[in-house]
Amino acid sequence: MSDPTKKTQAQQREKPEPYEGTRPIPWLVILLVAGIFIWSIAYIWFTHQTLPPEYGDRRTAADFQVAASSQSGIVDGGQIYTAQCLACHQATGAGLAGVFPPLAGSEWVTGKDSLVTQIVLHGLEGEITVEGVKYNGQMPMFKDKLNDAEIAAVISHIRSSFGNTASAVTADHVAEARAATQEQTTPWQGEAALAAYK
């Protein structure tokens, strides 16, 4: 016959079963989490940058929107170039060797305004030679993305930037070019397709 006293002593030596939810979170942990949260809010609040984009790449979506001045009604061709063209043709207009042709010194940009207008309106696919170098890529069409004033502004910008000194293009010129080629629904296929505009 077992001794009930020994059984009780054995039970007393055992650790209690684990349980959850009854022990409070230590104050040190609470204070640490609260401190990190407060520091995060303060960091976001006090590090908001209002510096102009040229101080660093802290631009917002508004910096890339195609906008016109509310006072003068003049469209900023440089801003359109930054939003739509810079990724391929680069900030210097030099393009990427063997991939995207340069705009700086390009005969396609500084030649007849009708030529560059058609390229911007309808885009270009296939082979093109720029300053003696052949490129075979694709440029998107902007006829459905930009209006006449915006296309005129960006063309005028590239024709007078990167060392180029060609004349500006007007919105009326773009409107005429758009109307004359309204049946063109696909990009121009290589430089041969643009021979009539040279």
Domains of the chain: 62-197 (1.10.760.10)
pLDDT at 61: 60
Residue by residue, pLDDT tens for the chain (198 residues) are 555 556 667 667 777 776 666 667 788 989 999 999 999 998 888 776 665 655 565 556 655 554 444 334 578 888 888 888 888 898 898 888 888 899 998 899 988 888 999 999 998 888 888 888 888 888 888 988 889 999 999 999 999 989 988 998 899 999 998 998 888 888 989 888 888 887
The CB-based long-range contact list for 83-88 (8 Å cut-off, 24+ gap) reads: 84/142, 84/145, 84/146, 84/154, 85/154, 85/158, 88/139
How far is 66 from 108, CA to CA, in rounded Å? 24
pLDDT at 184: 87
pLDDT at 120: 92
